[in-house]
């Protein structure tokens, strides 16, 4: 298995001229920044089902209780089933991926808030692209995100963190998951999960505690479903502050009064939004170098993704 996460992506975001009008929607942040750490696997469902470039544009239309992908000008054109069928074809390939970036607002690839036109032609932003919706149903644990939402620092960091978590999980189960490797995986991600969802953190602990009692494949399926459910919830300052205080507790007996005061102040400044997360994390790393701790040194919370992406410099 490759050390580099492989990410599915809408082809137009890489600069491929596959849009209905022959244009592209290249996203420089994706190609220039994320592209240094991810291997992209492009997909364009509309081209794949034979619509060609250029092609008649399509839109989502509400028909009774269902939503269809139909031609903007040619209302007889209906590509709903071909797009769904293509998602079924792509689904097996998702087993080799650790995430997927979709094109926002697309009637085929949009993840959410896509315009759906009603009987009177007035759209509501409550739909999802036909291909994207089916794909997300077929791979509910895979991290999905839209390129537009990646411009939000919190959502961007959340997606990239989920990608690396899922990538490590795939490495953990390849070639075979063991009770020992499950416990190790969980141990290294405990504080990461706690920053996202305390209830999920506790539920995962109970699952892992029973790893030697039942069928491991069943437990693993329950574990990854619960894990990715929790990680989808963006970490908040309050929950992250709680984690920072937990980690700081490992050093309190080793620091003098001034160091403890300074670290407490830094964590509180983070809680109040005065400094980004990278500041208290950098200090904790500093103390970990001074006072090595085998348990803390393996915690992915302290280094969930490459520092060079600077994702924690903005949250």
Sheet with 123-127, side-by-side order of all strands: 66-71, 58-63, 114-117, 123-127
132 in Cβ contact with 111 (< 8 Å):
yes
SS3 214: coil
Alpha-helical runs (H) found in the chain: 28, 45-48, 80-90, 130-138, 153-172, 179-196, 198-209, 216-231, 237-248, 257-271, 278-290, 294-297
Model-level pTM? 0.95
The closest of 151, 153, 122 to 60, measured between CA atoms, is 122
Q: What is the pLDDT of residue 18?
A: 98
Q: What is the pLDDT of residue 175?
A: 84
CB neighbour list of residue 225: distance below 8 Å, 6 or more residues apart? 140, 141
The structural domains of the chain, with segments of one domain joined by +, span 6-151, 165-315
156 in Cβ contact with 150 (< 8 Å):
yes
60 in Cβ contact with 112 (< 8 Å):
no
Q: What is the pLDDT of residue 1?
A: 62
Task: Say how many C-beta atoms besides its own lie within 10 A of residue 49's C-beta.
Answer: 18
d(CA 13, CA 24): 7
Task: Say how many C-beta atoms besides its own lie within 10 A of residue 272's C-beta.
Answer: 10
CA 158 vs CA 145, 162, 165, 195: distances in Å: 10, 6, 11, 11
d(CA 229, CA 110): 21
SS3 7: strand
What the block records as the tokens of 13 is 């975001």
The closest of 245, 238, 237, 235 to 284, measured between CA atoms, is 245
149 in Cβ contact with 94 (< 8 Å):
no
Q: What is the pLDDT of residue 72?
A: 95
d(CA 313, CA 315): 6
Task: Say how many C-beta atoms besides its own lie within 10 A of residue 307's C-beta.
Answer: 13
The closest of 148, 47, 37 to 90, measured between CA atoms, is 47
Give the pLDDT of the chain (315 residues) as one tens digit per residue: 678 999 999 999 999 999 999 999 999 999 999 999 999 999 999 999 999 999 999 999 999 999 999 999 998 999 999 999 999 999 999 999 999 999 999 999 999 999 999 977 889 999 999 999 999 999 999 999 999 999 999 999 999 999 999 999 999 998 889 999 999 999 999 999 999 999 999 999 999 998 777 789 999 999 999 999 999 999 999 999 999 999 999 999 999 999 999 999 999 999 999 999 999 999 999 999 999 999 999 999 999 999 999 999 999
């Amino acid at each position: 298995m490759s050390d580099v996460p492989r990410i599915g992506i809408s082809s137009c975001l890489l600069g491929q001229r596959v849009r209905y009008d022959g244009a592209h929607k290249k996203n420089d942040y994706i190609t220039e920044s994320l592209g240094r750490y991810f291997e992209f696997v492009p997909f364009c469902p509309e081209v794949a089902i034979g619509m060609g470039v250029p092609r008649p544009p399509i839109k989502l239309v509400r028909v009774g209780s269902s939503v269809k992908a139909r031609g903007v000008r040619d209302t007889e054109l209906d590509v709903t089933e071909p797009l769904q069928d293509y998602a079924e074809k792509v689904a097996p390939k998702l087993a080799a991926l650790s995430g997927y970036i979709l094109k926002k607002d697309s009637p085929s690839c949009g993840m959410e808030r896509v315009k759906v036109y009603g009987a009177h032609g007035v759209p509501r932003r409550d739909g999802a692209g036909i291909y994207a919706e089916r794909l997300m149903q077929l791979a509910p644990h895979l991290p999905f995100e839209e390129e537009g939402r990646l411009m939000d620092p919190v959502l961007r960091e959340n997606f990239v963190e989920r990608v690396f978590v899922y990538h490590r999980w795939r490495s953990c189960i390849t070639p075979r998951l063991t009770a020992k490797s499950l416990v190790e995986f969980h141990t290294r991600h405990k504080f990461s999960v706690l920053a996202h969802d305390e209830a999920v953190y506790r539920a995962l602990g109970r699952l892992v505690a029973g790893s030697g009692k039942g069928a491991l494949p069943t437990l693993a399926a329950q574990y990854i479903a619960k894990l990715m459910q929790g990680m989808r919830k963006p970490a908040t300052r309050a929950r992250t502050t709680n984690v920072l205080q937990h980690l700081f507790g490992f050093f309190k007996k080793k620091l003098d009064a001034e160091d403890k005061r300074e670290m407490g102040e830094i964590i509180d400044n983070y809680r109040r939004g005065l400094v980004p997360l990278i500041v208290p994390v950098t200090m904790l790393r500093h103390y970990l170098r001074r006072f090595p701790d085998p348990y803390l040194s393996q915690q992915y919370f302290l280094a969930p993704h490459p520092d060079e992406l600077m994702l924690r410099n903005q949250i």
